[in-house]
Structure 1
Amino acid sequence: MPRQPEGPPPPPVVARVRVRFAKRGRLRFLSHRDVARAFERGLRRAQVPMAYSAGFNPHPRISWVGAAPTGAASEAEYVEFALSAPVEPESLRSALDASLPPGLDVLRVVPAGGAPLAERIDASRWQVRLPGVAEPVLRDAVAELLRRDGVEVERATKDGRRRFDVRPAVILADCRAENDTCAILELVARHTTPAVRPDDVLTALDVVAGLRPSAPPEPTRLEQGRLLEDGTLADPLAPDRNDAGRLVGKSSA
């Protein structure tokens, strides 16, 4: 007879909410695991009625989507919570935001519904600040990258070094000048496997044009969402719409 956990089963899930939050300032150096732990502590402090998994080691039912890499700031991180009791979204947002450290800022909470959150996100829009790089130099490098059909880069992974093609993930790339000695790379990248991160695109710019910033780049994710035909991203927290056929990869009715 297999062992059974003691005590009553956890309360059922009665509601789900989706959350957009930002990772700002020095907290951009948090790993995804650090962010997850901070949220679990914040949820307890805010007394959010979380639903828990069953078994001998119950865990709050939290679903993460597309976490930004360590070292990258973000204005568009997403997570979904399963709740054991109904909660007013704005009250949850305010209480959770107050319970998290400054720099992990809860921007919006909405009831979950329609397509799963993971199906609403397949691309990101990034802004990468490049101190020490003049805008004309960056513009020439970006133009060369966009001319190529493929650009392979190499990255260290837990399974060793891996080579992959960056170019198919780059949907849009442009640049502008912050000042004479700092350029801004603006990038829309499709989510692929392996994920193509801003540092991979910078490595590709080095491969095709020898671009090497003299100071550490400062990437910030501005948006995540479904890629539309015009290169913009649909808000993943928006209600489902009848014109979803305009999304890239969907057929029109």
Structure 2
Amino acid sequence: MNRTRNSPFRSPDGLTERAQRKGVELPPAPEGTTSPSTTTPGHRLRVRYAKRGRMRFASHRDIARALERALRRASVPVAFSQGFSPHPKISYTGAAPTGVASEAEYLELTLAEERPPESVRAGLDAAMPDGIDIVEAVEARTPGLADRLQASLWMVELAGVGPDDAAEAVAAYMAADSVEVERVTKKGRRRFDTRSAVVDIDVSGDTAEPEPEGRHAAYAILRMVVRHTQPAVRPDDVLTGLRRVADLAPPSSTSMTRLAQGPLDEPTGAIADPLTVDRTDARATNPGTADPYAEERRDNAPQPSASTTGLSQ
């Protein structure tokens, strides 16, 4: 996407950020606004957000720009780095690829002033474009969020592929010792193994008769737990591996969604919520403090799985 610095954020179908704005229309974001303090230790928050609908096609840079505008519009006092070119102290971890939806993206904010996490969450959510939803914000009370993001649970929908054919291909893939694929990375074209990163794949779906007008009624759903490795193994890499070992080639484009990412329990393949430890530490620090958002957070939190098989039931 080619845009000047002052041009509005545009979605893949050409809608401006203002046209997609949630709720009432907001005033333009002032450019060049900096934090009132860049030298004092800041107040760190950890934020989970979702990338849904058309916004799955937004690049990481697009989302970063939209967030910086939302911070200004919501009057969130984000801290800035020092030097000739200050930039907001925002750290992204484990961002999903462009074209992939996600229910579990994470970032860290450093604020120049202490603010209630729920107030920051609500303000940012109202100021972000439709399709980028700020789900939760908690205080960063423990170190090492990036280290906790050890694996992801992905859901891949294969239109036009029957569950039996998908299950046969998955069985061949999981039985292989190594399944190498090629992909162009920042370091050029690389060849790497995908099989070692895959913990488990579960298959479900529907085997209905084909519908008229060329639409595919049969479809398979893959739920796969994939470790975070270097180079990163993405769900489309696993699909390439399935094509190599079992000639599984969906007749139409696939839909991919990250359902969760966090600490991995190797024996069971379960993925836990990475923010649980921050909430636990908060309750230990303030045992008498009631949490008015606990019930809503439980409803919205990524659900840990005992296994991929358990999730599909």
TM-score in terms of structure 2 length: 0.73
Which residue in the other structure is 1:194 paired with?
231
- Following superposition, the deviation at residue 119 of structure 1 comes to 1.2
- Following superposition, the deviation at residue 11 of structure 1 comes to 4.2
**Displacement over 3 Å in runs of 4+:** none
Distance 1:204 1:217 in 2: 15
The answer to whether 1:106 aligns with 2:134 is yes
Which residue in the other structure is 1:237 paired with?
275
Q: Do the aligned partners of 2:169 and 2:245 also contact (CA within 8 Å) in 1? A: yes
SS in 2 for 1:239: helix
Q: Deviations over 1:22-44 (max 9, x none)?
A: 00000000111111111111111
- Following superposition, the deviation at residue 160 of structure 1 comes to 2.7
- Following superposition, the deviation at residue 152 of structure 1 comes to 0.4
- Following superposition, the deviation at residue 230 of structure 1 comes to 1.5
- Following superposition, the deviation at residue 82 of structure 1 comes to 0.4
Question: Following superposition of structure 1 onto structure 2, how do residues 179-218 of structure 1 map, counting pairs within 5 Å?
Answer: 179-180=207-208, 181-218=218-255
Letter of the 1:211 partner, please give it: L
SS in 2 for 1:219: strand
Q: Do the aligned partners of 2:77 and 2:112 also contact (CA within 8 Å) in 1? A: yes
Tell me which protein shows more strand as a share of its residues.
1
Over 3 Å counting, the alpha-carbon distance change for 1:101 and 1:179 in structure 2 is: farther
Letter of the 1:200 partner, please give it: D
Q: Do the aligned partners of 1:9 and 1:54 also contact (CA within 8 Å) in 2? A: no
More deviation, 48-57/230-239:
230-239
Q: Do the aligned partners of 1:122 and 1:190 also contact (CA within 8 Å) in 2? A: yes
Letter of the 1:33 partner, please give it: R
CA RMSD of aligned residues (A): 1.5
Over 3 Å counting, the alpha-carbon distance change for 1:14 and 1:158 in structure 2 is: closer
Which residue in the other structure is 2:192 paired with?
164
Over 3 Å counting, the alpha-carbon distance change for 1:168 and 1:88 in structure 2 is: same
More deviation, 151-160/208-217:
151-160
Question: Following superposition of structure 1 onto structure 2, how do residues 59-208 of structure 1 map, counting pairs within 5 Å?
Answer: 59-180=87-208, 181-208=218-245
Q: Deviations over 1:45-95 (max 9, x none)?
A: 111110110000100000100000000000000000001111111111110
Equivalent of 1:16, from 44, 67, 89? Answer: 44
Distance 1:137 1:143 in 2: 10
Letter of the 1:183 partner, please give it: A
Unaligned segments of structure 2, at least 5 residues: 1-35, 209-217, 282-313
More deviation, 170-179/180-189:
170-179
Letter of the 1:29 partner, please give it: F
Sequence identity percentage: 54
Equivalent residue pairs, number: 235
- Following superposition, the deviation at residue 14 of structure 1 comes to 2.9
SS in 1 for 2:276: coil
Distance 2:207 2:53 in 1: 21
Which residue in the other structure is 1:247 paired with?
none
Q: Deviations over 1:84-131 (max 9, x none)?
A: 111111111110000000100000000001132101111000000111
Q: Do the aligned partners of 1:23 and 1:74 also contact (CA within 8 Å) in 2? A: yes
Letter of the 1:147 partner, please give it: A
Letter of the 1:112 partner, please give it: A
Distance 1:173 1:22 in 2: 23
Unaligned segments of structure 1, at least 5 residues: 1-7, 243-253
The answer to whether 1:226 aligns with 2:263 is yes
Distance 1:125 1:9 in 2: 39
